[in-house]
Amino acid sequence: MSFTFTEKDHLKKKIEEISDDKNIFYHGVVRREKMIEKLKTFDFILIPRLNSSEAKLFTPSKLIEAMAFGLVPIVSNVGGMNELVNNSNGFVLKSTKDKDLNDVLIAIKNIDKNKLKKMSTESKKLILENYTWFQNHQKLDEIYQSLVSC
């Protein structure tokens, strides 16, 4: 099992310290085009978030993009993410305790290939059926039409 970290954040120094270019990789900020290519090579994406009022306002686009590629998400139990991720398509961390992440990592290490494939398929299916530009446009159109007809 290997881990790839991207983006620039307050943990950059710690991640660089543990990076060994064998199992733990740090790439810093990665351009969108390159990140899309990288996503195609991963099985999982981990998106940790603190539970705050700002975090609950939106679903991260990186989560939607990753799931559209069939990545199995591992997310914090925070609004905007836990509406998309469930036991059939990913993992929701119950808390910020290290033990919860450790339990998920153990489950991933021991995951059956068929279960991984099924979770990947469910992840991709959810996004392609509900979160493409076409579906979003239809929802917005329905809202606008109801406002116009009032």
A 10 A CB-CB count for 53 gives 7
Q: Is residue 35 part of a domain?
A: yes
State the CATH number of the domain containing residue 100: 3.40.50.2000
| Per-residue model confidence as pLDDT tens digits over 43-96 | 988 888 877 777 777 888 889 999 999 999 999 898 888 899 999 999 999 877
Return the structure tokens found at 21: 């270019």
pTM (2 d.p.): 0.77
- Domain count for the chain, please give it: 1
Q: Is residue 38 part of a domain?
A: yes
Query: What is the pLDDT confidence band of residue 1, given thresholds at 50, 70 and 90?
Result: low
- 3-state SS class at 62: helix
d(CA 10, CA 67): 26
Q: Is residue 144 part of a domain?
A: yes
| Per-residue model confidence as pLDDT tens digits over 6-47 | 666 666 677 777 777 777 777 777 788 888 888 888 898 888
| Range(s) of the domain holding residue 141 | 31-148
d(CA 148, CA 120): 40
